[in-house]
Amino acid sequence: MEAAKPIFSYKKHWAARFGTAPFLPQSRAEMDALGWDSCDVIVVTGDAYVDHPSFGMAVIGRLLEAQGFRVGIISQPDWRNAEAFKALGRPNLFWGVTSGNMDSMVNRYTSDRRIRHNDSYTPGGEGDKRPDRAVIVYSQRCREAYKDVPIVLGGIEASLRRIAHYDYWSDKVRRSILVDSKADILLYGNAERAIVEVAHRIAKGRDPQTFDDVRGVALMKSTVPEGWTEAHADDIESADEGARQLGPNTVLRLPAFEQVEADSETYARASRVLHRESNPGNARPLVQRHGDRELWVTPPPIPLTTEEMDGVYELPYARGPHPAYGGAKIPAWEMIRFSVTIMRGCFGGCSFCSITEHEGRVIQSRSEGSILKEIEHIRDRTEGFTGIISDIGGPTANMYRIACKDPKIESACRKPSCVYPDICPNLNTSHEALIQLYRKVRAVPGVKKVMVASGVRYDLAVKSPTYIKELVRHHVGGYLKIAPEHTEEGPLSKMMKPGIGAYDRFKQLFDAAAAEAGKKYFLIPYFIAAHPGTSDQDMMNLAIWLKKNGYRADQVQTFLPSPMALSTAMYHSGVNPLKAVRRGGSERVETVKGLKQRRLHKAFLRYHDPENWPLLRDALKAMGRADLIGNGKHHLIPNFQPAGTGLGGGEGRRTGSKNGTQKFLTKGTFGSGASGGAARKPRAR
């Protein structure tokens, strides 16, 4: 993998003389107090401003501040006119526009397209503080406010919509968000490296349209530049994807927007190519025609080194919400205020998840020293700390410092997952670095308990029984969440998840470790309803498994087709992009689209809820499985119906502002009658 210029090696912008702001300003009064007459960069975000490294606007803002730029924040502005976008004046260099830590459509709507009544990234959890398709709307208002200022897009909404993409909420393929927003350039993935380069170039007066040599960006061109050879997506489905036959100046042409809009199988082919070109070690630029212009997407950014990761997480964050919120509770902040991120990325490659698409497969880990320093900061500077670190992890709990054994193999690999269908023999699965980190963290004075709340990749954990023992003995608080997602091979093969046997092996080791430690701990497994490749029979079998094992899902996840995910391509096209997509030769995938069937799949996960029993009785009879209806222990649902229940069409009770705060819980019931729940962070799906 090529070397990259260290992000902290640039000559600082002249405004570095102003020093560090206690909080990045959100008002002219704060700018005046800092002695600023203007901002160099203004970041517009759909989230409340929390100056903490778990919030994107803070990371980008503080990183640009470290480069010498004056950065202002406009958080959750009134998007109905441009006045709120003029609050800090005209930015000298550019606007940075993001929807926040979540895609605005995922944030605002459920998987059944119902609007949510709350928003975890807003003071008081209040909903309706950001618009639909926030990046597009914010960009329009920025242009109205100061039309000559460049607009740079970033964050997960922009990242996952960088090419033509299927949009679940409108049920159609939309153009790249760069086109619809009329912005100047888009940064995708972990954007630290790109934003530093882009900022310094714009400060020197260069046009963002010329930044086609910067990794991790998308921009518009009139034509493909001279000297580039085009390879079409249709032509690279050979055994090695044609990689060895293509020269260094090769750009892969994705099917045009008009083609993927008109034909879903062509869309699946484009999705397959995009995901095959995700390794920064071998990815090539992509080009996709949109009308009379070319969308140019450069290869993914080079991952940050440990030293760079440390530098990013050690920037002078205030480590809390901006004082303007007056102490109002921001649920997302409350969830992570005592947690520590130790790594980024995920090589699991689950087809429904956005982590790999956004953060990449290569694990980027912080040093022990940096992590210990942050824990000391939490202890000394975070109000309300009681000695408990609520989570130490990242996208997964147990991929810290795990990587391919051979950098050359890693750079050449085009597999979407390092652990599916089996763990790659080239993957170093040692958990020793993580075990040693846990022990050092527990030894920090003032730390009483260190919890692991990030999801454990259990098929990886079974390679290290010592890790499981360490986890159970010291870092579990009664319940540990893991995500087998299903029990049946049909959906699991489309999710790129291991079979339920891997869960069984982990459970054996977990239970043995708990018994050895004299603890009564339990696993809380999570499952997805209505994922592509899932039949009614699959969901019935899962429900039987749940009852047999004594689990009752309090809240369930129905598959939500997020932009750009491989599972979304399956949902939209009905074909499998995990395999070659060829006209007449593509593998078909059963999809669950109708609301009635989606409700049924959810109902099977909540087989114990009387609200679902009428729907399940009808379905079981239609499936020829009336033998599962009865009042015995071996039956799935009873014959009787409690008075006043079963009248809601199988929806059960809903959550939201009218029914209490939305929770991410699953409750398990066991033979002893014990039950409990474990908080689950919402995952990017």
Residues in contact with 1: Cβ distance below 8 Å, sequence separation at least 6, in sequence order: 280, 281, 302, 407, 410, 411
| Mean predicted confidence (pLDDT) in 453-480 | 96
Assess whether pLDDT exceeds 90 at residue 651: no
Question: How would you classify the pairing of strands 151-153 and 94-98?
Answer: parallel
CA–CA gap between residue 468 and residue 475 (Å, rounded): 10
pLDDT band at residue 356 using 50, 70 and 90 as cut-offs: confident
Distance of CA 416 to the CA centre of its chain: 16
pLDDT band at residue 583 using 50, 70 and 90 as cut-offs: confident
Q: Is 418 annotated as a binding residue?
A: no
Q: What percent of the chain shows pLDDT beyond 70?
A: 93
115 in helix, strand or coil?
strand
pLDDT band at residue 41 using 50, 70 and 90 as cut-offs: very high
Q: Which has the minimum average pLDDT: 39-43, 456-460, 564-568, 646-650?
A: 646-650
Nearest alpha-carbon partner for 136 in 110, 115, 105: 105
* Residue pLDDT, tens place only, 111-138: 999 999 999 999 999 999 999 999 999 9
pLDDT band at residue 657 using 50, 70 and 90 as cut-offs: very low
Assess whether pLDDT exceeds 80 at residue 262: yes
For the chain, the distance separating the N- and C-terminal CA atoms, rounded to the nearest angstrom, is: 29
Q: Is 424 annotated as a binding residue?
A: no
Q: Which has the minimum average pLDDT: 53-67, 231-245, 291-305, 517-531?
A: 231-245
Structure letter (DSSP) for residue 303: P
Average pLDDT, the chain: 92
CA–CA gap between residue 360 and residue 61 (Å, rounded): 22
Residues in contact with 668: Cβ distance below 8 Å, sequence separation at least 6, in sequence order: 479, 522, 523, 524, 550, 551, 552, 675, 676
* Residue pLDDT, tens place only, 64-113: 999 999 999 999 999 999 999 999 999 999 999 999 999 999 999 999 99
Q: What is the number of helices (H) and of strands (E) in the chain?
A: 23, 26
pLDDT band at residue 584 using 50, 70 and 90 as cut-offs: confident
* Residue pLDDT, tens place only, 377-404: 999 999 999 999 999 999 999 999 999 9
pLDDT at 648 (0 to 100): 76
Assess whether pLDDT exceeds 80 at residue 644: yes
Assess whether pLDDT exceeds 80 at residue 542: yes
Are the CB atoms for 337 and 387 separated by under 8 Å? Answer: no
Are the CB atoms for 103 and 157 separated by under 8 Å? Answer: yes
The answer to whether the bond into 421 is cis (omega within 30° of 0) is yes
CA–CA gap between residue 676 and residue 471 (Å, rounded): 19
Are the CB atoms for 168 and 685 separated by under 8 Å? Answer: no
| Mean predicted confidence (pLDDT) in 278-291 | 96
Q: Which two tokens stand for residue 163?
A: 């090419």
Assess whether pLDDT exceeds 50 at residue 680: no
Bridge partners (DSSP) listed for residue 187:
217
Assess whether pLDDT exceeds 50 at residue 362: yes
Q: Is 413 annotated as a binding residue?
A: no
pLDDT at 232 (0 to 100): 87
CA–CA gap between residue 40 and residue 93 (Å, rounded): 5
pLDDT band at residue 3 using 50, 70 and 90 as cut-offs: confident
Distance of CA 679 to the CA centre of its chain: 17
pLDDT at 236 (0 to 100): 55
pLDDT at 79 (0 to 100): 97
Assess whether pLDDT exceeds 90 at residue 248: no
CA–CA gap between residue 97 and residue 149 (Å, rounded): 12
pLDDT at 169 (0 to 100): 96
> What φ, ψ does residue 669 adopt, rounded to 5°?
-110, 140
Global pTM reads: 0.92
The 10 Å Cβ neighbour count of residue 342 is 26
pLDDT at 655 (0 to 100): 38
Are the CB atoms for 307 and 196 separated by under 8 Å? Answer: no
Q: Which has the minimum average pLDDT: 136-140, 267-271, 461-465, 650-654?
A: 650-654
Are the CB atoms for 170 and 192 separated by under 8 Å? Answer: no
